[in-house]
A and B are shown apart, each in its own frame.
Chain A
Amino acid sequence: MFGRKPRQSDLRRRFDSEAMVHADALFGAALRLTKSRRDAEDLLQDTLLKAFQHFDRYEPGTNCKAWLFRILTNTFINRYRKSQRERVFLLDDPDTKPLAERAVARELTDFDGPVGTDEESIARLFGDEIGAALQRVPVDFRVAVLLTDVYDFSYKEVAEMLEVPIGTVMSRLYRGRRLLRAQLAEYAVERGAVREIGADYNDQIAEDRAKTIDLAAYRAARA
């Protein structure tokens, strides 16, 4: 622990070659997590600054991409939760809440708002139906789908990033995927590719109603 501290310029060079190569992937994820380009840019910058701040503790040769995504998702989730809390303070029983809590209240942030946003409509307009559908999936499920299906992290890696059990990752993932497919089926109906909510969608609903799968228990039973 009393080893010589690496020089900042050396750290920076290493950071550029090991971490900055993932900037595009991180930005893509930030765009899918937040609801505006501005927030995505801010999230990316905060993530990279945090990563650089702790880069002397990052072990070379370990999975840098997973480490960066962990910082990105945690930064996003913390901010998202904070915005949720703040909104609750503002609306919830102002007379009994301590002043200190209400003072930090704000009305709405870009994280809030109903599902089905301008960003989503714009995405669909440019043929990005999958991206638009993903925007409609609630945050916890969206994070699981994003990390697993888009960025190809394993259940275990995602579980470590989110600090939840593997079973939780799997159930969020499957729930997120179901919501996503249902949304895509709805788009298909809207654009007339499917004449009515037909077989695909009904299957989807049937699947949703199928008995709840406890994957953790399932896996334990198989082990």
Chain B
Amino acid sequence: MPVTARARTMVLVGLVAACAWLLAAWRQAALAAEKPSQAPQLVVCPNCRLRKLGEALAAAAPGARVIVQAGLYAEGTVTVNKPVEITGQGYPVIDGLGRADVIRVTANDVTIRALWVRNSGSSAMGDPAAIKAVGVSRCLIEDNRVSDSLFGIRLDQASDCVVRHNELRGGATSASYSGNAIHLWNSQRVVVEGNRARGWRDGLYFEFTRGLRVQGNLSENNLRYGLHTMYSSDNRYRQNLLRANQGGVVLMYSRQLTVLDNRSERHWGAACYGALLKDLDASRFEHNRFAGNSVALVADNANGNVVAANDFVQNGFALRILASSSDNRFSGNAFAANAFDVITNGTRSDNLFAANYWDRYRGYDLDHDGIGDVPYYPVSLFALLLGEYPQAILLLRSPLVSLLDLAERGIPLLTPQALRDTRPLMERPRWSKSSD
């Protein structure tokens, strides 16, 4: 390329970058701009002039602050159709009388804070939620309690919202007649942070979303999944704790997700897993900890993902990689005290395993570079047998099985030889050791 042309390209790229930066900065500024601090304030309480939240909202001017004092406000559906800030004091109870949505937000720039919202409708028609925002931007939903509702907090076609520090208590008993704790549909750039969801269908459910930041949430004892994503991209999931659901992190039909520092634990059962990567592409899994799951991570038609520096401890099966998955890279992970390391249904492997720590590895390291000199084959004969004959699990840790595995390792006949770690680590990484 001639020098002038290259210079022109560089200037062009620089200009585009500068424009992008300016645009981002402008949006940041717009987000950060405080509402006037001297906003008019309305107080609602059972003995005040304003006894109902609905009345106060009707009376409020845009930008007003509505203070709701402790008490029971059973008003059916309350619609928030102008930019206001609703703050509860002493967790006032907003009761939806089991009709439809309890609080329905249809305006931008609405804040809902410190309310106890309960009793949404329960029919599947219209998916009633405790708090539902539709087609809005910049909403802030924080410090609320939610209970006795079909869906908890639901955002449809929302953008730049923040949902944080909410406590959501579900009463789901069957997956088909229950909703999700935090449900985002067709939404962008939402922050979901520090929420606690127990007893729903899915704890966190995101469908057709982009640019979400999901961090520090706790999602446990839900009927289906702790964190469930469909048709989404460019989301970041960090430091969430998923526990005792049917599945922990379940990512489907999505791409370019980043999953860091999460913990997925105690997902026990026939179809239970710490993480499921189904039709997931180009995503990153790093520094997550999978402990005590029946299957820690399942890859089903997942392609081009990076799974690095994760801790797999005391799971039934650490990895289950279906033959439909390829071009994934598993490197720098630690596998310790799992009943089985890897199980697969194929004979070939188009995935790369490198520099993982496997506690079953019995190789040597003559040049003392910390990397074993012979490869490790993580699929055992017994694991292969189990894929065909699940009943054989009865023989787990039997001397006979050890003998069979040993013989197969000596003269491999059945296990896939392509699936191997050519540079297994000799020592367990320090970050993994501490978690014994």
Our verdict on whether A and B bind, yes or no, reads no
